[in-house]
Amino acid sequence: MKVADGITYLTSEEMRLVDEAAINGFGIDVLSLMENAGLQTALLARRMLGGDVTAKRVTCLVGKGNNGGDGLVAVRHLHDWGASLEVALAAPRKEFREIPAKQLTTVEKLGVPVAEGAKDLGGSELLVDALLGYNSTGDPRGGVADLVRLANLSHAPILALDIPSGFDATTGVPNEPCIKAKATITLGFPKIGFLNPDSRSCVGELYLCDISMPREIYARHGNMGQVFQEESIVKVPIPRQGGISRPRFP
Phi first, then psi: give them for residue 79, nearest 5 degrees.
Answer: -60, -45
* pLDDT tens sequence across 211-250: 999 989 988 887 665 788 889 999 998 765 433 333 332 2
CATH for 2-232 is 3.40.50.10260
Read off the pLDDT of each residue in 38-48 and give the average, rounded to a whole number. Answer: 98
Read off the pLDDT of each residue in 45-50 and give the average, rounded to a whole number. Answer: 98
Q: Could you tell me the residue ranges of all domains in the chain? A: 2-232
More confident residue, 119 or 194: 194
* pLDDT tens sequence across 134-192: 999 999 999 999 999 999 999 899 999 999 999 999 999 999 999 999 999 999 999 99
Query: Rounded to 10 degrees, what is the CA torsion of 228, 229, 234, 236?
Result: -80
% the chain with pLDDT above 70: 94
Please give the model's pTM, rounded to 2 decimal places. 0.94
Distance in angstroms (rounded) separating the CA atoms of residues 29 and 125: 33
More confident residue, 123 or 76: 76
Nearest residue to 65 (alpha-carbon basis) of 29, 104, 28, 26: 104
Residues 6 or more apart in contact with residue 134 via CB below 8 angstroms: 12, 15, 16, 162, 163, 169, 191
